[in-house]
Chain A
């Protein structure tokens, strides 16, 4: 989930999502938060940390964390990508069209946390999102690992979209982010269990998002021509209650 915000709507939505996260995180989740491993000091670097800090040395742990984003009935047959020194690589081939990864700071945290090496955000995208949304995630990871700054990454992605080297969102593109574990950065450390739906340039009002009482939160990114809708779920991927 890219948290890069360009407009006021995006900033507001990000705050709303953070509030959602707080609201949904009860006592049980505080325990989870304590269990999250943060191998490096929680001082967010303003430039790239050594690449090793973004990698997970235990590939099995990364695969397990990636799969934790969705119920086992979905993730067990999903493809799994893990982060290498130059980008995401296939670690497990899947057979149901879903792809699970652990997002890093460049794609899965707020702009302020762009270089935070502690960020680990598991997600499982469906086949439609794997063919559209995920390509942006993997491209951004490659650019960041090559040392590109946030501004350079944004420019490169916008240019790739404009030149149609990156496709628009495919109809029905969505992902599961229902894992208890992970760390979303200092701005929003722990996300609520939720689903996301990806559209190209869609007015959030079309879904009734970001309105009082609405269960739907939307984030718009005009640069990427991307609208992301978030709907919290009542259970974690393992079936336990969120509240």
Chain B
């Protein structure tokens, strides 16, 4: 797979790794056709205990054992386990990728993620807000407008330095593409692209995508959002310590 091909399937921060490890797309059909609208909400929900276990599997036990865990309900995420180390583990759904991600409504997506304390304070509120709006039946355009209004009113926090998350679960389903999964760490930086870290260049171990959009063509209002890029680096082991395929 060429670098351009990899970038062509940069559909979300969640799918970057699977894009890297994919040898060929597993889904021949256009995801826009496969997932044009929200599926019945039941398809996005999980057994509560299974969701807690999956969420915790995003990071080594030494981290996730003492983390808070939030789970998805019909109306949004709610705390299932109160933690004591400041980390928050959860299972992201497809709509937490970029707004123009073709797998936005893919009900199979289960992205186990453990956010460090700065990310829990400054990234998670955006994800929870987006989830509540969409589960309440708001359109993407309405959700975008509501999030922008919340940013302008400072109801949503600015990005803190040192935000990162672990996505090292071997049980995640990130995308229909390739192997569906791969262990990695993600960083969040107030930047429009990855140049400052040398991401997306030949042989760089860092990949980056815009947090909000792929092209913003469909949702131009996203261009007025605060600059936010997600950086990703693959790691060689799953959270349980077993070796993972090289990316």
Contacts and interface: CB of A to CB of B under 8 A. Distances in A.
A88 B6 CA distance: 39
Contact of A206 (B60, B117, B166, B197): B117
A233 interface: yes
B62 interface: yes
Contacts of A141: none
Interface size of A as a range? 35 or more
B196 A127 contact: yes
A195 B59 contact: no
B202 A72 contact: yes
A232 B16 CA distance: 19
Contact of B204 (A74, A205, A206, A243): A74
A207 B164 contact: yes
Given A208-B63, A214-B60, A243-B236, A235 B205 contact: yes
B233 A231 contact: yes
Contacts of A14: none
Interface stretch (B22-30, B71-79, B239-247): B239-247
Contacts of A149: none
Interface residues of B, number: 41
B236 A213 contact: no
Contact of A234 (B117, B162, B168, B247): B247
B234 interface: yes
Q: Is the interface of B mostly helix, strand, loop or mixed?
A: loop
Given A176-B198, A213-B237, A233 B205 contact: yes
A208 B196 contact: no
B147 to A, nearest CB: 24
B203 A241 contact: no
Given A71-B201, A213-B241, A234-B234, A205 B85 contact: yes
25 contacts: A70-B198, A71-B198, A72-B202, A73-B201, A172-B191, A172-B197, A174-B197, A176-B198, A178-B205, A195-B233, A199-B161, A206-B86, A207-B162, A208-B60, A208-B166, A214-B62, A214-B63, A215-B185, A215-B236, A232-B235, A232-B236, A233-B205, A237-B203, A238-B203, A239-B203
Interface of A: 70-74, 96-98, 126-128, 171-172, 174, 176, 178, 195, 199, 202, 205-208, 211-216, 231-235, 237-239, 241, 243
